[in-house]
């Protein structure tokens, strides 16, 4: 059974159709990554396609809204790695930065999270959001360094801030820019 199918509808909008075990019905997701359709196992791709075509007006309106949002809040172009590439990229970056600056951490978990970019537990387990791979390089670095500094300093006080500024410079500026990248819009891998 085909698991994925790329369609082009109405003169050039790419739509990725994917088999999904979790979906109870044909679900259409519009994100800056494009249009993705989750198709349950009991629905044929042909049926799903006809549903997508019927809802094309809705899809188009959402694409436009998304584009406008992206231009306003996240003007830099976002990369579109696959999930595997994203994981490798994040893992390597963490390793390199830890080595370069002499940090050590316990375990890394890469997750899809809706509300946080990363966290560091009391036992120095670092958790990073897979969507980091889609940020501009310096912002991804900022988030990873932020969590690495937490391996030594748990709060966000003066010591923390000074250390982070020393490593990346203008940490508050980075933080502000990061706010322009909304996780809910980056979440579709
Ligand atoms: Zn923090």
Rounded to whole angstroms, how far apart are CA atoms 10 and 31? Answer: 18
What's the CA-to-centroid distance between 61 and ligand 1, angstroms? 37
pTM of structure: 0.62
Quote the pLDDT of residue 186.
66
What's the CA-to-centroid distance between 64 and ligand 1, angstroms? 34
The tens digit of pLDDT for each residue in 106-153 reads 999 999 887 899 999 999 999 999 989 988 899 999 999 999 999 999
Cβ 137 vs Cβ 168: under 8 Å: no
Quote the pLDDT of residue 14.
83
Q: Which sign does the torsion angle of CA 175, 181, 182, 183 carry?
A: negative
The residues, ordered by sequence, that sit 6+ positions from 149 with a Cβ below 8 Å of its Cβ are 103, 160, 163, 164, 167
Rounded to whole angstroms, how far apart are CA atoms 11 and 106? Answer: 50
What's the CA-to-centroid distance between 146 and ligand 1, angstroms? 6
What's the CA-to-centroid distance between 67 and ligand 1, angstroms? 30
Secondary-structure percent of the chain, ordered helix, strand, coil, rounded to 5: 45, 20, 35
């Amino acid at each position: 059974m085909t698991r994925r199918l790329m369609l082009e509808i109405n003169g050039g909008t790419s739509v990725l159709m994917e088999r999904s075990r979790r979906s109870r019905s044909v679900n259409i997701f519009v994100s800056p990554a494009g249009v993705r359709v989750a198709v349950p196992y009991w629905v044929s791709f042909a049926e799903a396609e006809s549903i997508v075509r019927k809802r094309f007006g809705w899809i188009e309106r959402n694409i436009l809204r998304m584009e406008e949002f992206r231009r306003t809040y996240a003007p830099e172009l976002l990369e579109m790695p696959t999930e595997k590439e994203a994981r490798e990229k994040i893992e390597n970056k963490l390793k390199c930065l830890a080595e370069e600056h002499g940090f050590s951490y316990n375990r890394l978990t890469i997750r899809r999270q809706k509300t946080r970019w990363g966290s560091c537990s009391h036992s120095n387990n670092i958790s990073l959001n897979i969507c980091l791979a889609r940020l501009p390089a310096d912002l991804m670095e900022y988030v990873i360094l932020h969590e690495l500094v937490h391996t030594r300093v748990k709060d966000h006080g003066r010591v923390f801030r000074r250390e982070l500024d020393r490593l990346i410079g203008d940490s508050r500026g980075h933080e502000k820019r990061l706010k322009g990248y909304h996780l809910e819009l980056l979440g579709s891998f």
